[in-house]
């Protein structure tokens, strides 16, 4: 029976909230090629385009709400025991704030957070809700025009990798929800978990690139599959006590 759980979520967990996924049918992210908006080179080349792209994504958060998948994961977080032999870690690749708005606490944003700004002058990170395009002043060092989105772009190192690796090495269940399995290192977490002896489960609308590396795949919308999984996990846990 699972005690130490690591859950990875991707854009698919937010799709039913109305946040478009990354590789939609046209292979673009909100109409843009990834190389034009999500790399350090794109930011050097055309900072205004990149800033306004993330400003729009940040502003759009006000119009979306957590869906039943986010709520179910928050319910699991508050009910799952903490302790010597129990643990839970939610790792999201998403840059939206829907997991924390639903109430998840034991969670990490491995690809950064739309609601954070990173100052390249003083290296500090500040909660941010407004635009960055108009070159605001850093509230820590007062420098103007050095704030960038606190987002991990392609070619940059994801955040919190040491903590994630430690949790995967101890996990007995790894669940991946709504991610295409295209973006490394997240796409390799299933292999690390299997090496550690964990059971592995994928929840996705369709078969993903990684499906054959999971012990089990359940196909369907996250808003239906995740609440059912959480009921199973909590039901099994309470009957074992």
Tokens for 223?
Answer: 């808003």
Q: Which does 17 bind (CB under 5 to 8 A by kind): ligand NAD, Zn ion, none?
A: none
The answer to the question of residue 230 lying near ligand NAD (CB under 6 A) is no
Stretch that binds ligand NAD, among 20-28, 45-53, 77-85, 127-135 (CB under 6 A): 20-28
The answer to the question of residue 28 lying near ligand NAD (CB under 6 A) is no
Minimum gap (Å) between residue 42 Cβ and ligand NAD: 14
CB-neighbour burial class of residue 85 (10 A; exposed 0-12, middle 13-18, buried 19+): exposed
The H-assigned helical ranges of the chain are 12-15, 34-37, 40-45, 47-60, 68-79, 98-102, 161-170, 189-195, 222-240
Minimum gap (Å) between residue 140 Cβ and Zn ion: 4
The answer to the question of residue 179 lying near ligand NAD (CB under 6 A) is yes
Q: Which does 138 bind (CB under 5 to 8 A by kind): ligand NAD, Zn ion, none?
A: Zn ion
The answer to the question of residue 137 lying near Zn ion (CB under 5 A) is no
The answer to the question of residue 116 lying near ligand NAD (CB under 6 A) is no
CB-neighbour burial class of residue 34 (10 A; exposed 0-12, middle 13-18, buried 19+): middle
**110-129 positions binding Zn ion, by CB under 5 A:** 119, 121-122
The answer to the question of residue 1 lying near Zn ion (CB under 5 A) is no
Instruction: Answer yes or no: 32 catalytic.
Output: no
Minimum gap (Å) between residue 186 Cβ and ligand NAD: 7
Instruction: Report the SS3 class of residue 155.
Output: coil
User: What residue has token string 């290296």?
Assistant: 123
Minimum gap (Å) between residue 51 Cβ and Zn ion: 16
User: What residue has token string 């003083």?
Assistant: 122
C-alpha radius of gyration, the chain, whole number: 18
CB-neighbour burial class of residue 118 (10 A; exposed 0-12, middle 13-18, buried 19+): buried
The answer to the question of residue 176 lying near ligand NAD (CB under 6 A) is no
Question: Is the Cβ of residue 119 or residue 173 nearer to Zn ion in the bound state?
Answer: 119
Alpha carbons 32 and 199: distance in angstroms, whole number: 37
The answer to the question of residue 217 lying near ligand NAD (CB under 6 A) is no
CB-neighbour burial class of residue 48 (10 A; exposed 0-12, middle 13-18, buried 19+): exposed
* Positions in the binding site for ligand NAD (CB under 6 A): 10-12, 14-16, 19, 21-23, 29, 93-96, 111, 178-180, 182-183, 204-206, 208, 221-222
* Positions in the binding site for Zn ion (CB under 5 A): 119, 121-122, 138, 140-141
Residues classed as catalytic: 111
């Amino acid at each position: 029976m699972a005690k130490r759980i690591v859950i990875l979520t991707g854009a698919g967990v937010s799709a039913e909230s109305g946040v478009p996924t990354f590789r939609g049918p046209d292979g673009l992210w909100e109409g843009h090629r990834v190389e034009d908006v999500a790399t350090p080179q794109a930011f050097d080349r055309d900072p205004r385009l990149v800033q306004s792209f993330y400003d729009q994504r940040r502003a759009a958060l006000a119009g979306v709400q957590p869906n039943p998948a986010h709520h179910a994961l928050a319910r699991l977080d508050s009910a799952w025991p903490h302790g010597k032999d129990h643990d839970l870690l939610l790792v999201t690749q998403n840059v939206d704030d829907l997991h924390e708005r639903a109430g998840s606490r034991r969670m990490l944003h491995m690809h950064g957070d739309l609601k954070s700004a990173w100052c390249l002058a003083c290296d500090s990170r500040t909660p941010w809700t407004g635009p960055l395009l108009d070159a605001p002043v850093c509230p820590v060092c007062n420098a103007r025009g050095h704030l960038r989105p606190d987002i991990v772009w392609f070619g940059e190192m994801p955040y919190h990798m040491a903590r994630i690796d430690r949790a995967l090495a101890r996990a007995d269940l790894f669940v991946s929800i709504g991610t295409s399995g295209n973006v490394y290192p997240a796409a390799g977490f299933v292999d690390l978990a299997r090496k550690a002896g964990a059971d592995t489960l994928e929840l996705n609308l369709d078969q993903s690139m990684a499906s054959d590396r999971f012990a089990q795949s359940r196909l369907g919308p996250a808003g239906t599959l995740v609440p059912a999984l959480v009921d199973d996990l909590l039901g099994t846990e309470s009957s074992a006590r």
